Structure formats: C-alpha cells, structure tokens
Amino acid sequence: MTRIDDTFARLRAAKRKAFVTYIMAGDPDVATALEVMRGLPGAGVDIIELGVPFTDPMADGATIQLAGQRALAGGMTLEKTLQMVRDFRADDNQTPIVLMGYYNPIYNRGVDRFLADATAAGVDGLIVVDLPPEEDSELCIPAQAAGLNFIRLATPTTDAKRLPTVLQNTSGFVYYVSITGITGAAAASAADVAPEVSRIQKASGLPVVVGFGINTPQAAEDIASVADGAVVGSAVVKLIGAGRPVAEVLDLVRALADGVHRG
C-alpha cells in the first residue's frame, strides 16, 4: 500500500472525493514553490502533483509551459526537484506526491538511480506523459518494482480496443484527460466525462481522477460529482505566474478543494 492507496482508501471511507493540485517545481523560484507546496495540504489538497520542468513540454498549454520556462531560467533541475520533495517530507510524511513530467530528464539521470533517489526522497508515484504502454519495460515496470505507483493517462480518444493496453500496468489511480488537446485549453463537461469515468472504473478497478479544463470551484464540484476526484493545475499556476502572494494562491486552492469535497 502506497500513500496514494492509503489516501483513496481514507477518502472512500469518508465518502469524499480526492482533490489533486499541480504546481511546477521551482516556479517562480524554489523558496516560493516550496512555500506553496507546504501550504497545499492545509488548504485541502489530498495529492500533490509536482511538475518537473522540461524544455519541450508537448502536452502542456501556455500556462504550464511558461511555468517550466521560469523554473528552468531560475536553474531548476531534476535533482533540485527531488530536494524539494525531501524538504517537504521533513514536515509532512502523509500527503502523496506524484512527479509529473517527461522521460528525458529521467533517462539522462539513469532509471535505476532516479528510482532509488525518488523513493528515498519520498515520491509516491509518477506520471510520464511521453512513455506509452509499449515502453513499459523502460520505466513503468521498474518503478512498480521500486514501490512507486505508475499513473497512466486515458483520454477521450482511448477506445475500447486501446484501453486494456493503457491500463495493463497502471496503479494508484487513472488520470482521465477530460478534453482533447493541451492543458488549460478548454472547459471540462461533467456530462461528457461521466460515462467515460464509469467505463474506465469498470475496466481498471482503480479510482479515476479527472483533469484538464477545471478552473473554478463549481467546475471542480461538477467533475468530482461524477469521478473519484479532480485535478487542477493551470488555474493555480496562472496565479503563481502572475506573482500573486502565496496566501492568495492558497485561498484559490482552498475554494477549489471545497468544491471537490462537495462533489
């Protein structure tokens, strides 16, 4: 049982949905990003997605791309991202942390070294958006063996033929991308999402958390009402990018969390 498994079991017992928040490591600087990260659990976040900045973030919209550029310009690296996790774990040993990013930085570090360092730092799961299931031997299977959940994305174009392949080595939860396209590009619709979530739940037996296109408390509540949880990233990252005070960022997170937990 990972922290992610424990969190979903606890939420299920309480009949609550999971609120997952994404922030970019090192945006706009390490100190501010760590201050935001440390404030997320108190603002109602159940699982933290920590973005690893990368030079070619093909799945991300402008808001997340700019966050990555700011972080990279400030000297953020994979090692410094892992250090953020270590620093967070000094005060919080319960909140799950999922690293979300791309394979290149992991490959450059070396898979074995990365997995050893990530587990030691306190990482619980990985979302690596450019590694398809056909490449599971590269990272997914070694990550599972190291005790990390490997979380896969399913999308509106993941049909019945493709879905079993996508789910074959997935654990922790399934991240359902509610729209076609990049992050922050459109609004998610609960009516469209509901049948897809049900289909994936039945096929996987795992919680299904919905992300992309959720940027208001009402939208978060609507999506959470038909899923096991909701992810918000761009709306939070946009405030950080605008240079708003950490307290204001956490106020938005709290409002979004309240919406999800009403769902």
DSSP classification of residue 34: H
E strands of the chain, at which residues? 18-24, 47-51, 97-101, 125-128, 149-150, 153-154, 174-177, 208-211, 229-232
Strands 174-177 and 149-150: unpaired
From 5, 49, 124, 228, active-site residue: 49
Token representation of residue 168? 């074959």
- Provide Rg for the chain, Cα atoms: 17
Q: Note if the bond before 156 is cis, omega within 30 degrees.
A: no
From 5, 27, 46, 60, active-site residue: 60
Find where tokens 């074995």 sit.
112
Closest CA to 166 of 151, 145, 152: 152
DSSP classification of residue 3: H
The rounded distance, in Å, linking the Cα atoms of 44 and 118 is 25
The rounded distance, in Å, linking the Cα atoms of 18 and 228 is 6
Q: Assess whether 60 carries a catalytic annotation.
A: yes
How big is the chain, counted in residues? 263
Q: Assess whether 79 carries a catalytic annotation.
A: no
The rounded distance, in Å, linking the Cα atoms of 51 and 54 is 9
Q: Which residues are known to be catalytic?
A: 49, 60
